[in-house]
Amino acid sequence: MKRPGLKRVTRVLTAFVAGATLAGCGAGSGAGQPAATPAADIHPLHPDLLSGTVLGLRIAAEDVGGVLDEARRSFVDAAGLYGFRDEEGELQATLQVTRFNDEAEPELPAFRHGLVTKLGGSIPKVVRIGDDEVFVARRTAQLRAAWFHERWFFVLSANDRFEFPLALLRETLEIRP
Whether 134 maps to a domain, the answer reads yes
* Burial class of residue 105 in the structure, from the number of CB atoms within 10 Å of its CB (0-12 exposed, 13-18 middle, 19+ buried): middle
pLDDT tens for 20-62 read: 544 344 444 444 455 778 777 888 888 888 989 999 999 999 8
Question: pTM of this prediction?
Answer: 0.81
Whether 30 maps to a domain, the answer reads no
Which residues constitute the domain of residue 157?
A: 6-24+35-172
Q: At what angle do helices 6-19 and 109-116 cross, to 10 degrees?
A: 150
If one counts the domains in the chain, the total is 1
pLDDT tens for 42-51 read: 888 888 889 8
